[in-house]
Amino acid sequence: MSKLISICSIVLLLLVAIFTGIGCVDNNQNDTGEVQTAESSSVTIKGSDTVLPLSQAEAEDFMIENPNMRVTVIGGGSGVGIAALIDGEIEIAMASREMKDSEIQQARQNGIEPLEHTIAWDGIAVVVNPENPVSQLTYEQLQGIYDGSISNWKDVGGEDREIAVITRDSSSGTYEYFKEEILVDREYRPDALAQPATGGIVQEISRNRGAIGYIGFAYLDESIKAVALDGGEGYIEATEENILSGTYPLSRPLYYYTDGEPQGATKEFVDFVMSPAGQATVSEIGYFPVQ
């Protein structure tokens, strides 16, 4: 009988030890003996494909320094990100244009108070195939190409070849910016090929000698060629120096939008992007820091 009691006691002690261990799995104890619970926080960022590579790099660096935090970055265009912010689906909207008055009004109707954060500066490069002999364009020529009044490269000093016009889709902030700056009160030509992402523009132009498009400066590579634009005092190339000095005509700020002053993990991430380390990443990716 005593042997049976001893066996039962041992089993009971083992069960107590097991359940005690399970209860302590998620807790850590500091030097003062206080129990701390490890918590993770998440931030979802969505929007501009121009801002996308920058946000991805910032998120990677941020999560290395803050392993308990999760930052998810999704593209789709400025309009898509702003719509998600308006609907309360995300913490940060990426945008390469300012929010429209109608969007701000809609956000406020949903109880969202958009707050703008300028995180970097960008230049818009007008690009052609490297084999295209045209290396410079006036604003009037560029406008004519995109509104449809110019359809052959020979009309702007190039070879006798039909112009294939590439643009971003209408959800893109770059689409809106280019329309306001170049087309002004005109519309894009109806036969323009819209691409849902900047990478599609680069790919199409790299393999089409007659194509022309526009992209964020950070997307420039050897597969395409940027043309110089008439800035009023001669042709200006899309270079870092010219963009920072303001002499290159197509330069713009890049934005984050939050619902009011950011809090918690969202504030920590925005502060990280605006820190010296975050702004150094801005330069590394190919954009230009704001401070």
In this predicted model, what pLDDT tens digit does every residue of 130-162 receive, in sequence order? Answer: 999 999 999 999 999 999 999 999 999 999 999
**Arithmetic mean of pLDDT, 196-206:** 95
Helix (H, G, I), strand (E, B) or coil at 18: helix
Please say if the pLDDT value at position 19 is more than 70.
no
Could you tell me the pTM of the whole model? Answer: 0.73
Please say if the pLDDT value at position 10 is more than 50.
no
User: From CA 62, how far away is CA 56, in angstroms rounded?
Assistant: 10
| Residues linked to residue 37 through DSSP beta bridges, in sequence order | 27
Cβ atoms of 287 and 120 closer than 8 Å:
yes
Which amino acid, one-letter code, is at 120?
A
pLDDT of residue 244: 80
User: From CA 133, how far away is CA 154, in angstroms rounded?
Assistant: 10
Confidence of residue 40 (pLDDT cuts 50, 70, 90): low
Identify which has the larger pLDDT, 291 or 103: 103
pLDDT of residue 74: 97
User: From CA 75, how far away is CA 57, in angstroms rounded?
Assistant: 14
Please say if the pLDDT value at position 37 is more than 70.
no
pLDDT of residue 291: 66
Confidence of residue 28 (pLDDT cuts 50, 70, 90): very low
**Arithmetic mean of pLDDT, 114-133:** 96
**Arithmetic mean of pLDDT, 259-277:** 97
pLDDT of residue 232: 74
